[in-house]
Amino acid sequence: MSFGSYLAGALALIAIVAALGFAAVRLRARLLPGWSGAPARLAEVVLGVSLLVVILELVGVVGLYRPGWVLAACLLAGVGTGVALSRRDAQGIALPSPPVTQIALGVATAAALLASFHWAMPTQIGLDIGMYLPNTTWHNAPFAARFVQDAQVGALHMTEVLRLTVWFYPQNSELLHSAGILFLDSDFLSPLLNIGWMALCLLAAWCFGRPYAAGAVAVLALAVILDAEMLLLYQPGDAKNDTAGLFFLLAAAAILVNGDAQSRAAADSVRTLHSGGPPLRPLFPRGALIVAALAAGLALGTKLNLLAPFGLLTLGVIAVARSGDRVRTAAIWVAASLVTGGFWFARNLVESGNPLPWADRGPLPGPEQLDIDIREPHTVSDYVTDLDVIRDSFIPGLNDSFGVLWPVVLAAVAGGFVLAILRGRTSLIRMLGVVALLSGIAYLFTPLTAAGPLGSPSAFEVNLRYASPALALGAVLLAVDLWISRERIQPFALAGLGLMLLVGLFSGGESVWERDYVIGGILLAIFVIGVPVLLALAPRVGIPRPAMAAGAALALCVVIGIGWVRSDDFSDDRYRAESAPRDFPQGVRDALAWFNEEDPSDARIAVVGGRPGFKQYVFYGDDLSNRVQYVARHGENGSYTPIALDPEDVANRDACEEWLGALNDGGYDYAVVGPDQRAQDVSPVEALWTKAGGGSVAVDSEDIFVFELDGDLDEAVCSDITPLSGIPSPGTTDLEPAPGPAETPEGGPQ
């Protein structure tokens, strides 16, 4: 990519942010009069992201997902909305904002900087070599790239044949990743997004505690959760969507808390004017309800495991509303949340006849899938009474994630649940305590939380991130408890939480500290935490707005310049076989090395088999122009099943013909073939069929094959197959004995 193309894309993104930011500020002033400071900025972020997501969905669903159309739509919607909502003086009760000591503010800022610095380490790894974690290369990044390739948002993109049917997952996060790809012709921004979401999570925590003078404690408590390895090892520098979903959930809760605090302040004012009247139960301000619902909808449209917290929060909001106001509250909440979160479930309804295709019991249909799993899909609830598993798997996993003080961390979070429910200052805080507790219970029954062979839940630690919504809510709730937020108790809370954070930073199962990344880590932490804090504090020390604007513009120019250098390096170094992680499958590494050498562009690449399927994104190419597609059989209601129903049945002529026909119909230039998920130790039958049909073997490594496909494959070879014969080599007339199913293709037909 030339500097001119990069600069044009960067300026287009800046223009979009500016236009939507203008609209968000005006919308916030109209919906949330009297709001200022951090809560106002949080609400503006939610409104801006909501506008962007809705615009991308509307433009993309009609097949116009191209840079010009998206830029025009964002500028028109942003500027038009901002102008239509002409600026006017705020007319609302100011948000309660008790004073915060300089020590508390300093501790919170230091904790945020330290956690961001820690997250910056794996972020820089992603910027150096590419995003390699399985979920990213399997479906998160392919979804984002396919939106751009198809100029279409909403079509199903089948990425493999697991019964998880991930192509039905909500994809708000992937949609936002695709916006960077759309304008930069690169996924350079993708490794950076999660550290941005992490910083916004800390902003939401500050806002949550702000009405109770507990913002600093909330930031520190949440930093302990964010810096746990369950998130640290699997979010920064990658395209997973847990952190984005967590931010939207926390933002919804924080906006509700501030809206409730403003409403109570207004009620107190009324009681002061009309002394002697009965105490008023505050209403949710309509604007706060709308913005919180938009945030909750964004969470629902981002991560499927947030369905339970979203549902619980929805019920809770309706329950704590005044009895005469519950219908209005329910209508506003449901309508606004569907605006930002309903698109993907509507898509599912159209494609499968069911908004939740995984729940296909009863009258609603669902996709028919084979029982193919990455690991046995056990849940934590399966082992709550199994002391051996708790001792050998759960406790080591918790220790690795939170450090040696993990019992204290979990006790503090549980304390947040209990204290909020029993001693919560308001009905809203008590409701959020119930939501957090029930979300934690829902985690225990969430599929795959203890996936792995029975008695050996190998995925417990990696999927502990599914508990992060409950843990994060418990952490911020702990901060607003009556006792902690008192001045005489708060220093001890800050000290205790600071100790937990420091212990977590330097203990655990795997270190991410890298000496080579120290300077970059400091710069990233300053950019995502230091600069926003300085901008927020600048008015307090008398820095005029023109000087602030000039400084921000200068910083933006520096960021654009650094971004160009880093993006150029990223394009040269991403997804190179020699720099792939040590646990990257050797066969796929050899396939990647061949593609690095050939460097195809605008190629059509078929993949099949577990290892190629889970790593398919590495074949998209430097310019993301290669169209990579897992090849399987389409069925009703969004089903996608293997063509080779028996991965050891080499002599299935119908499956052979279907396989070769699918490659011909797809016009593929290459095929990457690996062992079936159901038989990882068996040579892939698709490789034998492809070679027999005329495919040229370019790579043969550990049962991973790359074929060059020059023209149509010969489907006629399949007619000569018998149960006792193999596939004849191209150009021969005599059939040779079939290889045994466990033999490698090297011993197969020549």
Burial environment of residue 599 by CB neighbours within 10 A (0 to 12, 13 to 18, 19 or more): exposed
For residue 230, what pLDDT is reported?
A: 92
Measured distance CA(397)–CA(402) in Å, rounded: 9
Instruction: Give the C-alpha distances (Å, rounded to integers) separating 694 from 644, 709, 715.
Output: 19, 8, 9
Instruction: Quickly state the pLDDT bin for 738 (edges 50, 70, 90).
Output: very low
DSSP string across 631-649: --EE-GGG-EE-S-SSTT-
Residue 292 has pLDDT above 50, yes or no: yes
Closest C-alpha among 443, 495, 498, 448 to residue 472: 443
Largest Cα span, the chain: 103
Mean pLDDT of the region 500-519: 84
For residue 482, what pLDDT is reported?
A: 58
Instruction: Give the C-alpha distances (Å, rounded to integers) separating 734 from 655, 722, 728, 729.
Output: 22, 13, 7, 9
The rounded Cα 407 to chain-centroid distance in angstroms is 28
pLDDT in tens, 550-600: 888 888 888 888 888 888 889 889 999 999 999 899 999 999 999 999 999
Residue given tokens 């005044």 in the structure block: 322
Q: Which residues contact 269 (CB under 8 A, 6 or more apart)?
A: 93
Q: Which residues contact 717 (CB under 8 A, 6 or more apart)?
A: 656, 660, 692, 693, 727, 728, 730
Its pTM stands at 0.93
Residue 488 has pLDDT above 80, yes or no: no
pLDDT in tens, 397-428: 999 999 899 999 999 999 999 999 998 888 99
Measured distance CA(192)–CA(562) in Å, rounded: 13
Dihedral angle over CA of 372, 373, 374, 379, nearest 10:
-170
- List, in sequence order, the alpha helices (H) in 227-301: 229-232, 242-273, 286-300
Measured distance CA(382)–CA(386) in Å, rounded: 8
Q: Which residues contact 49 (CB under 8 A, 6 or more apart)?
A: 176, 298
The percentage of residues in the chain with a pLDDT greater than 70, rounded to a whole number, is 92
For residue 728, what pLDDT is reported?
A: 43
Measured distance CA(424)–CA(412) in Å, rounded: 16
pLDDT in tens, 106-145: 999 999 999 999 999 999 999 999 999 989 999 999 999 9
Measured distance CA(404)–CA(716) in Å, rounded: 64
| Side-chain-side CA neighbours of residue 119 (13 Å) | 36
Order of strands, sheet of 704-708, starting from the edge strand that comes earlier in the sequence:
627-630, 604-608, 670-673, 704-708, 696-701
Mean pLDDT of the region 673-697: 91
Helices (H), strands (E): how many in the chain? 28, 7
For residue 722, what pLDDT is reported?
A: 58
Q: Which residues contact 736 (CB under 8 A, 6 or more apart)?
A: 725, 726, 728, 729, 749
pLDDT in tens, 186-233: 999 999 999 999 999 999 999 999 999 899 999 999 999 999 999 999
For residue 747, what pLDDT is reported?
A: 32
Residue count (the chain): 750
Average pLDDT, the chain: 89
Instruction: Give the C-alpha distances (Å, rounded to integers) separating 42 from 81, 277, 288, 570.
Output: 19, 35, 12, 31
Measured distance CA(496)–CA(408) in Å, rounded: 10
Quick check: 636 and 666 in contact, CB under 8 A? no
pLDDT in tens, 138-165: 999 999 999 999 999 999 999 999 989 9
Residue 306 has pLDDT above 90, yes or no: yes
pLDDT in tens, 445-487: 998 999 999 999 999 999 999 999 999 999 999 988 756 656 7
Quick check: 156 and 340 in contact, CB under 8 A? no
For residue 90, what pLDDT is reported?
A: 58
The rounded Cα 434 to chain-centroid distance in angstroms is 25
For residue 746, what pLDDT is reported?
A: 32
Closest C-alpha among 343, 351, 352 to residue 60: 343
pLDDT in tens, 358-385: 876 677 888 989 989 888 889 999 999 9
Bridge-based pairing of strands 696-701 and 704-708 is antiparallel
- ∠ Cα 118 124 130 (to 5°): 135
Instruction: Quickly state the pLDDT bin for 643 (edges 50, 70, 90).
Output: very high
- Taking CB atoms within 8 Å and a gap of at least 24, the contacts of 347-355 are 347/154, 347/156, 348/168, 348/638, 351/156, 351/168, 351/637, 351/638, 352/168, 352/637, 352/638, 353/637, 354/637
Residue given tokens 């990233």 in the structure block: 524
587 by DSSP, 3-state: which?
helix
- ∠ Cα 159 347 59 (to 5°): 95
Which residue(s) pair with 627 in the sheet? 604
For residue 736, what pLDDT is reported?
A: 34
Instruction: Quickly state the pLDDT bin for 98 (edges 50, 70, 90).
Output: confident
- ∠ Cα 97 103 108 (to 5°): 75
Q: Which amino acid, 720?
A: D
